[in-house]
Structures are given as C-alpha cells and as structure tokens.
Amino acid sequence: KQEVTQIPAALSVPEGENLVLNCSFTDSAIYNLQWFRQDPGKGLTSLLLIQSSQREQTSGRLNASLDKSSGRSTLYIAASQPGDSATYLCAVRLLMDTGRRALTFGSGTRLQVQP
C-alpha cells in the first residue's frame, strides 16, 4: 500500500526566504506526482504535475523535483510571500493496470510566511 509522508508538518518563515518542502513515498512504481495548495476550508489547487519520466517541473517561483528511485519529491518555493501561506499537499498516482488509479495524498505541510 502506498504511503506518502511530508516533512515538515508545519513551517513558519519570514517573507523573502527560499524554502523546500519534502515528500516521500514508499512505492516507487508511480505514474505521476502532483503538488497541491489548500487554503483553510477550501479546495485543492493544482500547482505542478510531474510525470514519472520527468525530473522536475517549474511554474513561476515554484520548482518541483522528482527522484523516483529514492521515492522523494521536493517543492522549492523561491522568495516566499505572505500569500503563499497555505497547506501544501503532495499526492502520487500509482502505475496500475487500469491506469486510472486515484491519488494518494500526504498529510501536508502547513506553511506560514510572516510579513
């Protein structure tokens, strides 16, 4: 059974810092990995999707890397802003016969960026 772990569980940084969020998964036979952002009581906003054949994806100040062999992904946020404060979730999709297996989520990292 795939298990997804995110470290740290919570993080508080001053505005302007670069930061790294970590995600690890136990089953390396993944199809892809997706990073989401969730504001309190709200839905999940997709940030980046990395296919299993890719090593990284970038969108603006965000960069996500994937090392499938070691079961790790990192989300790098450059020049953090108070508006980045949210919970960040990583989710993996297993490589299954159906190819449509749903995502397994980590517990998230709760980020607070202090102005």
Partner 1 sequence: AAGVIQSPRHLIKEKRETATLKCYPIPRHDTVYWYQQGPGQDPQFLISFYEKMQSDKGSIPDRFSAQQFSDYHSELNMSSLELGDSALYFCASSLPTGSPLHFGNGTRLTVT
- The distance of closest approach from Cβ of residue 4 to partner 1 in the complex, given in angstroms and rounded to an integer, is 8
- Which residues bind to partner 1, rule: CB under 8 A? 31-32, 34, 36, 41-46, 49, 51, 89, 91, 98-108
Reference 81, options 19, 23, 37; nearest CA is: 19
CB 37 → partner 1: shortest distance, Å? 11
Q: Which is nearer to partner 1, 100 or 115 (CB)?
A: 100
Contacts of 12 (CB under 8 A, 6+ apart): 111, 112, 113, 114
Nearer to partner 1, 40 or 115 (CB): 40
CB of 34 to partner 1, least distance (A): 6
Smallest gap from residue 27 Cβ to partner 1 (A):
15
CA distance 112 to 115: 10
- Which sign does the torsion angle of CA 95, 98, 99, 100 carry? negative
CA distances from 74 to 19, 38, 44, 83, 113 (A): 10, 17, 18, 20, 18
3 vs 15 by CB, closer to partner 1? 3
28 versus 32: smaller Cβ distance to partner 1:
32
